[in-house]
Amino acid sequence: MFKDGKDSCIDSNHLKSGSSGTVTYDKKDPGKYVSKFYFSNVPIGPTFTFEVLVPDSLPETSTTNPPTAPRENLELENCELQERIGEGEFAEVYTANFHNTVVAVKLFKNKFKRDIHRLVETEVNKLAQLRHPNVIQYMGTIVFQNRPGIVMEKMKMSLDDVLVENNEISIQTKKKIFIDIAQALCFIHSLPNSYHGDLKPANVLLNGEITNASTIVVKLCDFSQARIRFAVTSSISSATTIYTPRYAAPELSLGLSKTSAIDIFSFGILIWESLTGETPFLNEENVCKAICGGDRPSVKNFDKNVSNLLTAMWQGKPDQRPSISTVLQKMKEIF
Q: Residue 298 burial by CB count (10 A; 0-12/13-18/19+): exposed, middle or buried?
A: exposed
Question: Is residue 227 in some structural domain?
Answer: yes
CATH of the domain at 324: 1.10.510.10
- Choose one of 153, 175, 199: the last residue of a domain: 153
- Give the three-state DSSP class for 275: helix
- Check the annotation: does 106 bind a ligand: yes
Residues 125 and 188 in one domain: no
For the chain, give the longest Cα–Cα distance. Answer: 71
- Choose one of 90, 124, 153: the last residue of a domain: 153
Contact predicate 56/1, CB 8 Å:
yes
Residues 212 and 66 in one domain: no
Residues 138 and 163 in one domain: no
Q: What stretches of the chain adopt beta strand conformation (E)?
A: 8-11, 19-20, 23-26, 29-40, 61-63, 74-76, 84-87, 91-98, 101-108, 138-144, 147-153, 157-158, 204-207, 217-220
- Residues 177, 205: Cα–Cα separation, whole Å: 10
In order along its 335 residues, the chain shows pLDDT tens digits of: 333 443 333 333 344 444 444 444 444 444 333 344 444 443 333 333 333 333 333 233 222 233 332 222 222 233 367 899 988 878 899 998 877 778 899 988 877 777 777 888 888 888 888 899 999 999 888 877 778 888 899 999 999 999 998 778 999 999 999 999 999 999 999 999 899 999 999 999 999 999 999 999 999 998 766 567 666 655 555 445 668 999 999 999 999 999 999 999 999 999 999 999 999 999 888 999 999 999 999 999 999 999 999 999 999 999 999 999 999 999 999 98
Contact predicate 150/43, CB 8 Å:
no
Residues 186 and 146 in one domain: no
Task: Report the interhelical angle of 171-190 vs 324-334 (nearest 10°).
Answer: 160
Count of residues for the chain? 335
Contact predicate 64/20, CB 8 Å:
yes
Residues 17 and 109 in one domain: yes
- Choose one of 126, 153, 180: the last residue of a domain: 153
Residues 214 and 85 in one domain: no
Domain that holds residue 86: 8-153
Q: Total structural domains in the chain?
A: 2
Nearest of 181, 124, 128 to residue 158 by alpha carbon: 181
Residues 97 and 209 in one domain: no
Residues 88 and 210 in one domain: no
| Number of helical H runs and strand E runs in the chain | 9, 14
